[in-house]
């Protein structure tokens, strides 16, 4: 099994750092706004990753954060005239409603940033003891010029130093001192904790470092997110974590590409967005949406249009009809004679699926191979060349792969 490591810039053979359990950290939602289908493309890729690790015989321990302490959430609550807790409760409820509808496994740990501030304070103190902190009237900042490897994840070329970043927004790529701790102001309202640095709240980037290390250790196997997380968020995670521990934070960094709508970037800032519930009202069921969003390899650019969606779903529906015919044949009671064809088809299907998935989770190739083999099996069944026993072998194989893909209504839990 080979995965594309963003830090290395190429595919690498995957193996857990220790034992047989893969420790995975995935960046979860920022709950200042509802999550759109572009966000869910990333979460679905991570769901397929965890399911395939289990298919391959690994254990998997997945931790996902919820960013409920940040500038944008506080600003959104103020704009809507509601308390921060009320806004977050509504967004989190909606998020997991969509999550469950798309058939995703819940992470073993869902960590809210607001519940892990003591761990963040402890990590900031470690970073400061190592000499990487700068203090001013606004708070504590990480001095990026003291971390020589800054920019290696993003592969920054000739990075220029721009001084202190303003909040979480970066005007351009380069070296920016980023916030570890923000001193409290009236605009922060009740988002306020006591610390050795004064009352205030943690910066966005320190949250994921503290929570991932708290649950998975100072070095773990895989860190995932969308490509928009590479810089500055994951770059800053690496800097502050390595500064504190002297160890790599993650052995693999995996990132999914953006989803666009009609060739335009989907983002909360531009307003070019579609939501799971919005598409449901348009007749797009969550199971069909799941198939569409994983029908391309996670690292490939993907564009959403209703025309492309309908064409892809037609292929999935045909495969489901084929499965229905094979299941019907498998239930017949006219003998258990094996002609050998079913077993050979099942082996070919599993080999094709595993070969595609072992190549950096190439779901597009996996679906192509599965659908082609299933089409051939249906033709053989129509011609009377498959026995019920043969059909059972094929159905069992499809159930195994659908335990990972979860699009054919079989074996998915």
Residue 193, φ and ψ in degrees, nearest 5:
-130, 150
- Is residue 342 domain-shared with residue 211, that is, in the same domain? no
Half-sphere exposure of 227 (CA within 13 A, CB side): 16
Tell whether 264 and 321 lie within a shared domain. no
State both tokens at 280. Answer: 């449901």
Q: 217-235 b/e with 16+ CB inside 10 Å = b?
A: ebbbbbbbbbbbbbbbbbb
Residue 273 included in any domain: yes
Residue 365 domain-assigned?
A: yes
Residues of the chain falling short of pLDDT 50: none
Sign of the alpha-carbon torsion through 151, 156, 157, 162: negative
- Same domain, residue pair 14 and 119: yes
Question: What digits encode the pLDDT tens for the residues 240-296?
Answer: 999 999 999 999 999 999 899 888 887 766 778 899 999 999 888 888 999 999 999
Same domain? For 326 and 385 the reply is: yes
| Both tokens assigned to 252 | 């693999």
> Is residue 268 domain-shared with residue 315, that is, in the same domain?
no
Q: Which residue has the tokens 């966005």?
A: 204
**Considering the domain boundaries, does residue 334 fall inside one?**
yes
User: Last residue of some domain: 247, 280, 313?
Assistant: 280
Report the predicted TM-score, pTM, of the whole model to 2 decimal places: 0.94
Neighbours of 127 (CB within 10 A): 22
Domain boundary among 264, 280, 296: 280
Q: What are phi and psi of 251, to 5 degrees?
A: -80, -30
Same domain, 91 and 38: yes
Residue 293 included in any domain: no
Q: Does one domain contain both 275 and 324?
A: no
**By residue range, what is the domain housing residue 45?**
2-280
- Reported in sequence order, the residue ranges of 235-391 that DSSP labels E, i.e. its strands, are 250-256, 259-261, 264-265, 302-304
- Sequence-separated (6 or more) residues with CB below 8 Å from residue 265: 258, 272
CATH code of 319's domain: 1.20.120
On whether both 333 and 381 belong to a single domain, the answer is: yes
Q: Which of 280, 296, 325 marks a domain boundary? A: 280
pLDDT the model gives residue 53: 98
- Are 129 and 233 part of one and the same domain? yes
CATH of the domain at 219: 3.40.50.620
Q: Does any domain span residue 285?
A: no
One domain, residues 351 and 316: yes
The pLDDT score that the predictor gives to residue 82 is 78
Let me know whether 20 and 121 are in one domain.
yes
Name the domain count of the chain.
2
* Domain assignment present for 413: no
Q: In whole angstroms, what is the distance from residue 337 CA to residue 13 CA?
A: 42
Residue 150 lies in a domain: yes
In a domain, 371, yes or no: yes
Instruction: Provide the pLDDT for residue 338.
Output: 57
Is there a single domain that holds both residue 225 and residue 374? Answer: no
Q: What is the pLDDT of residues 291-336, one digit of tens each?
A: 999 999 999 999 998 888 888 888 888 888 999 999 999 988 765 5
pLDDT of residue 335: 53
């Amino acid at each position: 099994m080979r995965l594309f490591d963003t830090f290395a810039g190429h595919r690498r053979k995957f193996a857990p750092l220790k034992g047989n359990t893969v420790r995975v950290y995935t960046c979860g939602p920022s709950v200042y706004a509802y999550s759109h289908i572009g966000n869910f493309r990333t979460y679905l890729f991570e769901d397929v990753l965890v399911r395939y690790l289990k298919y391959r015989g690994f254990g998997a321990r997945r931790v996902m954060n919820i960013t409920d302490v940040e500038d944008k959430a506080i600003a959104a609550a103020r704009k809507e005239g509601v308390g921060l807790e009320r806004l977050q409760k509504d967004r989190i409820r909606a998020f997991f409603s969509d999550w469950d509808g798309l058939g995703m496994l819940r992470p073993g740990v869902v960590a809210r940033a607001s519940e892990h501030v003591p761990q963040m304070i402890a990590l900031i103190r470690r970073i400061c003891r190592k000499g990487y902190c700068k203090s001013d009237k606004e708070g504590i900042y990480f001095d990026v010029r003291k971390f020589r490897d800054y920019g290696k994840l993003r592969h920054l070329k000739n990075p220029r130093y721009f001084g202190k970043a303003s909040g979480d927004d970066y005007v351009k790529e380069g070296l920016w001192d980023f916030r570890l701790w923000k001193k409290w102001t009236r605009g922060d309202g009740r988002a306020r904790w006591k610390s050795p640095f004064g009352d205030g709240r943690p910066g966005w980037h320190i949250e994921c470092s503290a929570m991932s290390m708290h649950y998975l250790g100072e070095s773990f196997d895989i860190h995932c997110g969308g490509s928009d997380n590479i810089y500055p968020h994951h770059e800053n995670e690496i800097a502050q974590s390595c500064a504190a521990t002297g160890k790599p934070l993650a052995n693999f960094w995996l990132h999914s590409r953006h989803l666009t709508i009609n060739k335009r970037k989907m983002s909360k800032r531009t307003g070019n967005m579609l939501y799971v519930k919005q598409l449901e009202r348009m007749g797009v069921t969550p199971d069909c949406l799941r198939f569409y969003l994983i029908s391309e390899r996670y690292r490939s650019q993907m564009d959403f249009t209703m025309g492309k969606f309908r064409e892809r779903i037609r292929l999935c529906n045909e495969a489901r009809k084929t499965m229905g015919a094979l299941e019907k044949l498998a239930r017949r009671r006219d003998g258990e004679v094996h002609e050998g064809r079913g077993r050979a088809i099942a082996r070919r299907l599993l080999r094709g699926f595993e070969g595609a998935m072992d190549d950096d989770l190439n779901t597009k190739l996996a679906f192509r191979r599965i659908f082609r083999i299933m089409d051939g099996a249906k033709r053989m069944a129509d011609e009377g060349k498959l026995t019920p026993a043969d059909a059972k072998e094929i159905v069992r194989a499809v159930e195994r792969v659908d335990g990972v893909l979860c699009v054919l209504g079989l074996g998915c839990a």
